[in-house]
Amino acid sequence: MKQWYDKIEAADSVEKLEEIRIAVFGKKGVLAAEFAKMKSAPNEEKAQIAKELNIHKGKMTELFNQRKIVLATEALEAAMKAEKIDVSLFSPTAERGALHPVMQTMDRIVDYFVSMNFTVNTGPIVEDDFHNFEALNLPKYHPARDMQDTFYFKDEMLLRTHTSPVQIRTMLHSKPPIRMIAPGAVFRRDYDLTHTPMFHQVEGLVVDEEGKVSFANLKFILEDFLKYMFGDVDVRFRPSFFPFTEPSAEVDISCIFCKGEGCRVCSKTGWLEVLGCGIVDPNVFEAVGYKDVSGYAFGLGVERFAMLIQHIGDLRSLFEGDVRLLEQFQ
């Protein structure tokens, strides 16, 4: 047994110590073997043997833990020394910062709509129930509220789940005609390869006198926009549902990876869903006191666009703040 005490003390790396741990404390380790041997010892000696073994076990565990702390600290110190950066050192190659890939994509989207004469509006991130839901034709207890897993505060306040409340705020403080986009951060309780609890949307809203804004206008601008973003893609409109638009559509582009043949990214369908849109529901106009107007609205997720354009596989990696990763998108 004594030799194992020495070995623990002599272990000179975390890896080495781990090997010893397995050899001593593991299922097929020394201690297990000693305990097994005890079974064949005379009955009157068993208690004494067990007692001694347990004392060894306790002492070795303590020794092991102490050694582990020492080695882990040494390893950390070595790593810190090796990765140390002397910020006062002159560097002949100046490091340049860059915009985050999501912001690059956002800028490109905003540029398009600004060139098409849209104004850029913003609204608060901490919203109330009225602007985020109620005025958007989403009354309390409406099942469609489940489409958006919401972070709530006290007193009916919440983190906005989409940029659509900016539509409401804009209409409440200005008169038609309106031609606006609203870029910004939104929040939902979601976390996987393609969802993070914070992400970005760009909302669009166009309102004018009754009869002046049609689905054809909406189709034109979105097709033109998607070709600007993705190049020569096919665009299709699929009937869908949003409480604040009627009729509503989801818009797909032909898969930019397989050109519509069917691949992993498009789940063999040949199409990629990229945004939601529709003709503004009359109930929304009623909520903001608009009469005799017509309009269209659309909303898109910026991260989705960034992932497609920049070939990003795991969205979460973008928000871990590792400069070595972000540098690749300069």
Stretch that binds ligand PHE, among 50-58, 192-200, 271-279, 286-294 (CB under 6 A): 271-279
Q: How far is the CB of 26 from ligand PHE (least distance, A)?
A: 53
Distance from C-alpha of 218 to C-alpha of 234, rounded to nearest angstrom: 16
| Residue 307 in contact with ligand PHE, rule: CB under 6 A | no
Q: Could you say which of 160, 162, 169, 304 contacts ligand PHE (CB under 6 A)?
A: 162
Q: Closer to ligand PHE at the Cβ: 60 or 138?
A: 138
Q: Between 231 and 250, how does the x/- string for binding to ligand PHE read (CB under 6 A)? A: -----------x--x-----
| Residue 187 in contact with ligand PHE, rule: CB under 6 A | no
Distance from C-alpha of 326 to C-alpha of 231, rounded to nearest angstrom: 25
In sequence order, what are the residues at sequence separation of 6 or more whose Cβ sits closer than 8 angstroms to the Cβ of residue 64? Answer: 8, 17, 20, 21, 24, 25
| Contact indicator for 176, 208 with CB cutoff of 8 Å | yes
Q: Closer to ligand PHE at the Cβ: 203 or 252?
A: 203
The strand ranges marked E within the chain are 119-120, 126-128, 157-159, 178-187, 198-209, 235-242, 245-254, 271-280, 293-301
Backbone angles phi, psi at 328, to 5 degrees: -70, -10
Q: Closer to ligand PHE at the Cβ: 183 or 299?
A: 299
Q: Closer to ligand PHE at the Cβ: 176 or 301?
A: 301
In sequence order, what are the residues at sequence separation of 6 or more whose Cβ sits closer than 8 angstroms to the Cβ of residue 49? Answer: 38, 41
Structural Rg of the chain based on CA atoms = 31
* Alpha helical stretches, state H, 133-214: 165-173
Q: Between 199 and 218, how does the x/- string for binding to ligand PHE read (CB under 6 A)? A: ----x---------------
Q: How far is the CB of 303 from ligand PHE (least distance, A)?
A: 13
Q: How far is the CB of 212 from ligand PHE (least distance, A)?
A: 19
Looking at beta carbons, which residue is closest to ligand PHE? 299
Which residue, chain included where needed, has tokens 């703040």? 321
| Residue 176 in contact with ligand PHE, rule: CB under 6 A | no
| Residue 188 in contact with ligand PHE, rule: CB under 6 A | no
Q: Closer to ligand PHE at the Cβ: 286 or 327?
A: 286
Distance from C-alpha of 274 to C-alpha of 197, rounded to nearest angstrom: 19
Q: Could you say which of 113, 237, 298, 305 contacts ligand PHE (CB under 6 A)?
A: 298
Q: Could you say which of 176, 183, 295, 299 contacts ligand PHE (CB under 6 A)?
A: 299
Distance from C-alpha of 11 to C-alpha of 19, rounded to nearest angstrom: 9
Q: Could you say which of 106, 207, 297, 318 contacts ligand PHE (CB under 6 A)?
A: 297
Q: Could you say which of 278, 293, 312, 318 contacts ligand PHE (CB under 6 A)?
A: 278
- How crowded is the C-beta side of 279, counted as CA atoms within 13 Å? 15
Backbone angles phi, psi at 150, to 5 degrees: -100, 145
| Residue 295 in contact with ligand PHE, rule: CB under 6 A | no
* Alpha helical stretches, state H, 152-268: 165-173, 215-230
Residues 46-105 interacting with ligand PHE (rule: CB under 6 A): none
Query: Which residues are at the interface with ligand PHE (CB under 6 A)?
Result: 162, 164, 203, 242, 245, 276-278, 297-299
